[in-house]
Amino acid sequence: MSEVAASDSAPIAIPAAADMDAAEDLLARLREIGSEGPLTIDASAVESMSTPVVLTIVSALNTRAELKPPATVLNPSTAFVDAFTDLGLFQDLMKMEFAT
């Protein structure tokens, strides 16, 4: 099973192979954080990312749309960005701040 690693203050780390199990783990973690807390996603390890993971992130972004500051993605890998682009959701990815 894939694990999405995080603690209360740490970024949510998306695993290298972000599959359906990772989407379920991510959803559980996002529910723990809620729509009010800061959201930082570490996407540096992503080598492949399934549609359910992308849609889980997009859903979280839409839920948090009015929050300032917006969600942040750390060190997004090419595969992370490509997963959004391949689904025509690049504009949703751009709702996040990028950090290295």
The count of other CB atoms within 10 Å of the CB of residue 66 is: 7
User: Which CATH number fits the domain that encloses residue 51?
Assistant: 3.30.750.24
The whole-model pTM stands at 0.87
Domains in the chain, number: 1
Residue 2 maps to a domain: no
Question: Which pLDDT value is given to residue 6?
Answer: 44
Which tens digits make up the pLDDT trace of 52-78? 999 999 999 988 877 767 899 999 999
Q: Which domain holds residue 55?
A: 12-28+39-99
Distance CA 97, CA 95 (A): 7
pLDDT in tens, 5-41: 444 468 999 999 999 999 999 999 999 888 777 899 9
Exposed/middle/buried for residue 1 (C-beta within 10 Å: 0-12, 13-18, 19+)? exposed
